[in-house]
Structure 1
């Protein structure tokens, strides 16, 4: 029996891995990467699976997918699919929560190191002819005397603590799901306010939900050290970018590194584009050749499991009717 998997979008060069793996299990793929929403809706009408990356998979698309058994996310977060509607329709939702732990951790740490050393600002100064204009009245910190605050102490947060601790950086963490005062992997769990007060660097690894929207805004910046560096490789919207831009201008904080921004339009912008000691990358923290190939392979494997009436490894909505 032949099956059909619709791939809504992806950002890598080809679907060779998907073609080979899914094809070996009699699953044909339809590439909708450049399709309109209307074209996507038409294709999912007889699809057994939807594989998606960044596109919004809303109720309208899901209701059109009358045969669909599984919606498999290329990635970690599942805030771009209507999980409640999937559950109602009996569609299993899966993700790959641990494929890029090293890559995201390295990206966040790289931003911290670069912002602390003012690498980008100094390079800009040099290429603009300012080799002799160096001003050393800047708060570059010695790592062995610095503290990193990790907001969200899950897989990525713990990987970061292991890697950066080897450089001599002291780590503390805040996580609303963990008890203040506990010691986990030699890292003390502290209150959010204490983390803001003590940290020289802060890295954020929490989902974007109602309670975390603008988790960092004017009040939080005012509680931070005035040379503190804030990095977000999680979700746009966790940081109030307008307030962050003002805080940088006024010397309330020291630097910002973002792999995600609030504006998700086709031509995104941010008030932070005009600030110094800012690094913004286009949501590439997840990427290495190895992590991307692992992501493609494991996402397909989840589809194969569900189509073959097996339980997926990463079951987002286990309350869905039994498969």
Structure 2
């Protein structure tokens, strides 16, 4: 019987995976593997793996000669040695588009919450204050500039939603030469130009050597003092300490972050003490719909690969690690 092992999973249910496996007549086993040895032990004889955080290294792949496919919950495949897998004839799959609407919704929600001063107003109201002094000046969205860095699925969805709210949208993506028809009228800018022009700078790029600390003390210094940063992509794209420095000295107005470099953010971190910072715990991907889709599609990819079929979402060997 074909066997698929879930190496690790912190979800409260695996019902979507179980349903997909039962329909395909596949044996599905859930493990709790945190390192290479645990993965090798749990996955002995497996045809396919479904992975959340467990390391799938060359050593793991060598120890599992019957393995046909590794399917990851999520977009990034940085815990999987993709090149080693391909060299051994093992498919690597992800779910690249399951949360596009949800993450872009979250980016917009964070931006609007910050621009309207909602967290600060809420805190002051709980303290008995019923005035707007703490958040002055606020400005309407129409006529303000929303900058999107990265025009992948999530960046395009964020740009579309920002335009619907009345923002002027500008974008930067080094590999995009022309904006898609759905965003016609959006101006493509250099990174330097978007830094100086955006009232909101929303980041939607993968984490690569080229994008690590894309926002650092130097680039942050080129932003306007009334601008804000929104990051729902990868924490390492922003130098956390440089960002906190910029906010504290008034170099930028504030930030709204769903991701940071080192998660979880320590409770003592100074970002928690800044009133013009909005933080959420890496939950931009989540909705009940995206959660179910993620799990179902990760299982379907593993099932297809285990049965010798071509999965829907195969990561090529040369794909950048995100």
Same fold (TM over 0.5): yes
Equivalent residue, structure 1, for 2:197: 198
Equivalent residue, structure 1, for 2:174: 176
In structure 1, stretches of 5+ residues that fail to align are none
Q: CA separation of 1:18/1:86 partners in 2, compared to 1, >3 Å: closer, same or farther?
A: same
CA–CA distance in structure 2, aligned partners of residues 287 and 183 of structure 1: 28
Q: Deviations over 1:48-69 (max 9, x none)?
A: 1111123443333333322211
Alignment of 1:111-130 (within 5 A): 111-127=110-126, 129-130=127-128
Contact 2:49–2:71 at 8 Å: present in 1 too? yes
2:2 maps to 1:27? no
Corresponding pairs, count: 315
Contact 2:5–2:30 at 8 Å: present in 1 too? yes
Q: CA separation of 1:269/1:46 partners in 2, compared to 1, >3 Å: closer, same or farther?
A: farther
Equivalent residue, structure 2, for 1:79: 78
TM-score between both structures, scaled by the size of structure 2: 0.91
Q: CA separation of 1:271/1:53 partners in 2, compared to 1, >3 Å: closer, same or farther?
A: farther
How far 1:319 sits from its partner (Å)?
A: 7.8
CA–CA distance in structure 1, aligned partners of residues 269 and 213 of structure 2: 14
Q: CA separation of 1:175/1:42 partners in 2, compared to 1, >3 Å: closer, same or farther?
A: same
Equivalent residue, structure 2, for 1:161: 159
Alignment of 1:31-180 (within 5 A): 31-33=30-32, 35-37=33-35, 38-127=37-126, 129-131=127-129, 134-136=132-134, 138-179=136-177
SS at match of 2:16: helix
Report which stretch shifted further, 291-300 or 21-30.
21-30
Q: CA separation of 1:62/1:278 partners in 2, compared to 1, >3 Å: closer, same or farther?
A: farther
Q: Deviations over 1:228-287 (max 9, x none)?
A: 111111111100000000100011111111111111469687542332211221211111
Root-mean-square deviation (Å): 2.1
CA–CA distance in structure 1, aligned partners of residues 31 and 281 of structure 2: 22
Q: CA separation of 1:229/1:154 partners in 2, compared to 1, >3 Å: closer, same or farther?
A: same
2:312 maps to 1:313? yes
How far 1:137 sits from its partner (Å)?
A: 6.2
Q: Deviations over 1:52-97 (max 9, x none)?
A: 1234433333333222111111111222211121112221011111
Equivalent residue, structure 2, for 1:240: 239
Q: CA separation of 1:5/1:172 partners in 2, compared to 1, >3 Å: closer, same or farther?
A: same
Alignment of 1:158-307 (within 5 A): 158-179=156-177, 182-184=178-180, 185-186=183-184, 187-264=186-263, 270-307=269-306
Q: CA separation of 1:266/1:228 partners in 2, compared to 1, >3 Å: closer, same or farther?
A: closer
CA–CA distance in structure 2, aligned partners of residues 274 and 137 of structure 1: 16
Q: Deviations over 1:189-211 (max 9, x none)?
A: 11001111110001111111111
CA–CA distance in structure 2, aligned partners of residues 256 and 125 of structure 1: 19
Report which stretch shifted further, 63-72 or 263-272.
263-272
TM-score between both structures, scaled by the size of structure 1: 0.91
CA–CA distance in structure 1, aligned partners of residues 265 and 241 of structure 2: 20
Contact 1:44–1:64 at 8 Å: present in 2 too? no
How far 1:161 sits from its partner (Å)?
A: 1.4
Q: Deviations over 1:124-146 (max 9, x none)?
A: 2222x251575256342210021
Q: CA separation of 1:266/1:175 partners in 2, compared to 1, >3 Å: closer, same or farther?
A: closer
After superposing on structure 2, the runs of 4+ consecutive aligned residues of structure 1 that deviate more than 4 Å are 265-271
